[in-house]
């Protein structure tokens, strides 16, 4: 008996986001620009959120000049401030309508740099760990409460939580040994812990909201090419089976898959985009 697969869809239709309204937190950061670019290219309107003090970058200005205020708007909010998030959500609904995509991208990381002052593990201030957990996990949860509740009312939506390969593995300290700091550079221990919490929270929300038409997934990038020093990039690429760091193009496809109807039967999963880093 032939399998009835229903009406065929062209790839551009499956991955297209025409008419969708996406909210991106931490929008002015390096990854935020990648997510907005991909969503706008696929046809979505994007409501961008970042801290009051975050600088508007040239990349953001170029996106706004290209797509205009009818497709891209920026609002200021701290994701740990629920009253402000509620205000921003109401503004989003007034400007664009009810959001159907939420990219929980806002987060705190500590990139290695020789100009930084390091900590010994036993000396890391409690406040530093608390702020990372507050933003990366609790802030993500608050944004999901505020914007996800509108999706529940609408009976549809896709929430994409941005994780990290360090949700699955510990940082390899050998990658940072050449960086001259005293004490030696340490990736904040709360960073990986916060991202592991995000993965579990994703499963919790996915199971809870599946019957309401809202899907929740985690997208966990590996090392993303940026302004890292050459020695770090060399060592990191040697550690990756595909032999290189991720680029914006590498991240766009996975994001659009999770945001679009191409992943209509995918929820509660972590999609790791790391070139195979966690495979060995």
By annotation, the residues acting in catalysis are 191
- Tell me how far apart the alpha carbons of residues 118 and 211 are, in angstroms, rounded to a whole number: 47
Residues with Cβ within 8 Å of residue 83, at least 6 apart in sequence: none
Nearest to 113 by CA among 181, 164, 191, 168: 181
- Tell me how far apart the alpha carbons of residues 200 and 195 are, in angstroms, rounded to a whole number: 9
**23 touches 85 (CB < 8 A):** no
The two tokens of residue 277 are 């880093």
Each as own residue / partner, the long-range contacts of residues 82-91 (CB below 8 Å, 24 or more positions apart, any chain) are 82/142, 82/145, 82/146, 85/142, 85/143, 85/146, 85/147, 86/146, 88/49, 89/146, 89/147, 89/150
- Tell me how far apart the alpha carbons of residues 59 and 47 are, in angstroms, rounded to a whole number: 16
Give residue 92's Cα distance to chain centre. Answer: 19
The phi and psi torsions of 252 (rounded to 5 degrees) equal -65, -45
Residue 127: other Cβ atoms inside 10 A: 9
């Amino acid at each position: 008996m032939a399998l009835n697969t229903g009406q065929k869809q062209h790839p551009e239709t499956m991955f297209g986001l025409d008419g969708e309204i996406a909210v991106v937190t931490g929008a002015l950061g390096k990854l935020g620009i990648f997510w907005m670019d991909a969503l706008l290219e696929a046809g979505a309107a994007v409501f961008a959120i970042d801290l009051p003090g975050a600088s508007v970058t040239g990349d953001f200005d170029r996106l706004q000049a290209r797509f205009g205020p009818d497709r891209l708007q920026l609002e200021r909010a701290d994701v740990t401030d629920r009253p402000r998030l509620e205000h921003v959500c109401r503004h989003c609904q007034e400007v664009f309508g009810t959001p159907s995509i939420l990219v929980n991208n806002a987060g705190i990381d500590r990139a290695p740099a020789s100009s930084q002052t390091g900590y010994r593990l036993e000396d890391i201030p409690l406040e530093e760990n608390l702020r990372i957990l507050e933003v990366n996990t609790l802030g993500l949860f608050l944004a999901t409460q505020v914007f996800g509740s509108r999706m529940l009312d609408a009976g549809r939506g896709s929430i994409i939580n941005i994780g990290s390969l360090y949700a699955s593995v510990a940082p390899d300290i050998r990658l940072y040994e050449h960086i001259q700091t005293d004490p030696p550079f340490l990736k904040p221990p709360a960073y990986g812990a916060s991202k592991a919490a995000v993965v579990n929270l994703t499963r919790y929300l996915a199971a809870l909201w599946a019957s309401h038409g809202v899907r929740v997934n985690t997208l966990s990038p590996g090392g993303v090419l940026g302004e890292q020093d050459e020695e770090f990039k060399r060592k990191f690429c040697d550690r990756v089976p595909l032999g290189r760091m991720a680029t914006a193009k590498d991240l766009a496809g996975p994001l659009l898959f999770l945001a679009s109807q191409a992943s209509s039967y995918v929820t509660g999963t972590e999609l790791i985009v790391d070139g195979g880093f966690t495979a060995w």
